[in-house]
């Protein structure tokens, strides 16, 4: 994800900007009528912090940043959750609102959406 003006990571604003976007996206996902069911069990602060950190690291590394993602691959991470195409569409709507909130410009927005869309076959089970 490299262009003439640098990696997507750089063009998005680096680690701190990605962290702010994740901090907006995760509560949006938890509050979503369809997706909220994935967060209904009691969760510790540590579990929520780990989820946040893994999301930041995954996106930062995938965007070409100097970050290491130490989590499992997307297929293994989401196995058994029963994520449907409708769930993924809801996720994409939440992502779109977050990208709108931060006024992520083109072509960066399209690159993010294309990357996240490419993960769908690894995440959707049913």
For the residues of 3-52, what is the DSSP string, one character each? ETTEEHHHHHTHHHHHHHHHHHHHHHHHHSTTGGGGG-S---HHHHHHHH
Which distant-in-sequence residues (6+ apart) come within 8 Å of 43 by Cβ?
Answer: none
pLDDT at 63 over 70: yes
Q: Are 94 and 35 in contact (CB under 8 A)?
A: yes
Burial (CB count <10 Å: 0-12, 13-18, 19+), residue 61: middle
Q: Among 3.90.1150.10, 3.30.360.10, 3.30.230.10, 1.10.490.10, what is the CATH number of 9-123?
A: 1.10.490.10
Q: Are 11 and 125 in contact (CB under 8 A)?
A: no
Count other C-beta atoms under 10 Å from residue 82's C-beta.
12
| Structure confidence at residue 97 (pLDDT) | 98
| Structure confidence at residue 3 (pLDDT) | 57
Confidence band of 41 (pLDDT split at 50, 70, 90): confident
What number is the average pLDDT over the span 53-67? 97
**What is the C-alpha to C-alpha distance for residues 62 and 116, in angstroms, rounded to an integer?**
10
Confidence band of 1 (pLDDT split at 50, 70, 90): low
**What is the C-alpha to C-alpha distance for residues 35 and 87, in angstroms, rounded to an integer?**
6
| Structure confidence at residue 126 (pLDDT) | 78
| Structure confidence at residue 71 (pLDDT) | 95
**What is the C-alpha to C-alpha distance for residues 15 and 67, in angstroms, rounded to an integer?**
8
Q: What residues does each domain of the chain span?
A: 9-123
Q: Tell me which of 43 and 1 has the higher pLDDT.
A: 43
């Amino acid at each position: 994800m490299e262009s003439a003006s640098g990696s997507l990571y750089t063009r998005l604003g680096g680690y701190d900007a990605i962290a702010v976007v994740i901090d907006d996206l995760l509560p949006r996902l938890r509050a979503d009528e369809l997706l909220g069911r994935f967060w209904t069990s009691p969760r510790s602060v540590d579990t929520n912090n780990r989820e946040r950190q893994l999301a930041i690291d995954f996106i930062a590394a995938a965007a070409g940043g100097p970050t290491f993602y130490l989590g499992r691959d997307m297929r293994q991470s989401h196995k058994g959750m029963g994520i449907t195409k409708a769930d993924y569409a809801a996720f994409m709507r939440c992502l779109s609102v977050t990208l709108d909130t931060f006024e992520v410009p083109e072509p960066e927005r399209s690159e993010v959406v294309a990357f996240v869309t490419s993960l769908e076959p690894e995440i959707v089970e049913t």
